[in-house]
Structure 1
């Protein structure tokens, strides 16, 4: 696999989100924990704040320069 793919933020965000969905499903199926609607709203608020902060700081971006170090595949 191309090493630049591992530097892509979109890849890591998708891997992390899939892992969190799997943990949520396993917790629900096994009965270890349940995420309520209120908890879900709180989690989404935290995620929105973190993503907004990262976008504001320019960490989540899609530069178009060819030598951008892993963004462009």
Structure 2
């Protein structure tokens, strides 16, 4: 079996060499860590805000309760 090597290669697309520079693996790690840290910071801020709003709401409810109890006690003093 005989074939022309040059003729077969002429039909193939050109071979593009792979890049010789290998990406720095620490760059990828650092970038991922920064993104992770930003997400954790955002979650922490959101949780802190939620807790502050919850405590403020509970304090307001407690204030209303004791105000109503004082009013109740003026109408119905203890024996």
TM-score range, shorter chain: 0.3 to 0.5
Greater fraction of residues in helix: 2
Q: TM-score, normalised by structure 1?
A: 0.34
Computing the radius of gyration over CA atoms, which structure comes out larger, 1 or 2? 2
